[in-house]
Amino acid sequence: NIMKELSGLEVYEQKLKTKFNLRKVIVVPGNSDIDLGVKQELGKACVHFLKRIIKDNMIISVTGGSTMSAIADEMIPMENKDCLFVPSRGGLGEQVENQANTICVEMARKAKGNYRLLYVPDPISESSYRSIIKEPVVKEVTEYIQNADIVIHGIGEAMTMAERRKMSKNQLDQIKKSNGVGEAFGYYFDKSGQIVHKVRTVGLQLEDLESIAHVITVAGGASKADAIESYFKLGKSNVLITDEAAAIKLVKG
């Protein structure tokens, strides 16, 4: 009975909204850990939500990852004038198809918007970082990122992300030892929401989120429940788009 199922998801939406003190929660059916189609549904839900809030001249900043890539797949023309898509941060050691720059271009094209990209190596040394942020082109894009109206981002499990980014054994051990469970924007969090590690890269910093009107978190799969929970301890997002499997675990936990 579809009606019954729908109302079941709405119950989760309501519970998560209260739990994390959010403006909006959308829960799609299924578990994206085992069904790739569910990731596409997260993508669709995000695009529809974006369509409702986007206005002319807005800046939309996006991160990388396979969930974000599914959003790019589902992107539709936005018909808003002069919207600008930018990556949230410099390269975070992802494969090209999962990189924020790649996703940013695809989203902008499909949404009929503009884009600016950020080419910064990762990891980056302290001294290169200091000089690269002074480059006019990097500075310009960084300013767009800080003035974004909308941020759309993914969340990952800490160890999955650390391994995917090919971190050194030392760093992996350190994140494990400090009980890192979640990752977003290159920040690693433990269960209580404490930052246990941070990747040095150019672009959006966690504190920038406070002044951004719409922060949309898109993450699903039962395996990400702890990661989602750890991220929301900091409460820097307004909207969560997730799936049923993650929602069930989050509500129980």
Total residue length of the chain: 253
Give the type of residue at 177: K
Nearer to ligand BG6, 64 or 123 (CB): 64
Nearer to ligand BG6, 69 or 238 (CB): 69
Residues near ligand BG6 (CB under 6 A), total: 15
92-151: contacts with ligand BG6 (CB under 6 A)? 92, 94, 98
Sign, Cα dihedral of 47, 53, 55, 58: negative
Among 16, 28, 84, 155, binds ligand BG6 (CB under 6 A): 155
Is residue 179 a contact residue for ligand BG6 (CB under 6 A)?
A: no
Q: Report the alpha-carbon distance of residue 203 to residue 117 in Å, rounded.
A: 11
Helix (H, G, I), strand (E, B) or coil at 68: helix
Stretch that binds ligand BG6, among 17-25, 60-68, 173-181, 193-201 (CB under 6 A): 60-68
With binding defined as CB under 6 A, does residue 43 bind ligand BG6? no
List 65, 90, 123, 203, residue binding ligand BG6 (CB under 6 A): 65
Task: Tell me the closest approach of the beta carbon of residue 67 to ligand BG6, in angstroms.
Answer: 3
Q: Which residues, listed in sequence order, are joined to residue 61 by a DSSP beta bridge?
A: 86, 151
In whole angstroms, give the CA distance from residue 145 to residue 188: 21
Q: CB-based contacts of 218: which residues, under 8 Å, 6+ apart?
A: 42, 43, 46, 67, 68, 71, 152, 153, 154, 240, 241, 242
Q: Which of residues 187-226 bind ligand BG6 (CB under 6 A)?
A: none
Binding site for ligand BG6 (CB under 6 A): 63-67, 92, 94, 98, 154-156, 161, 183-185
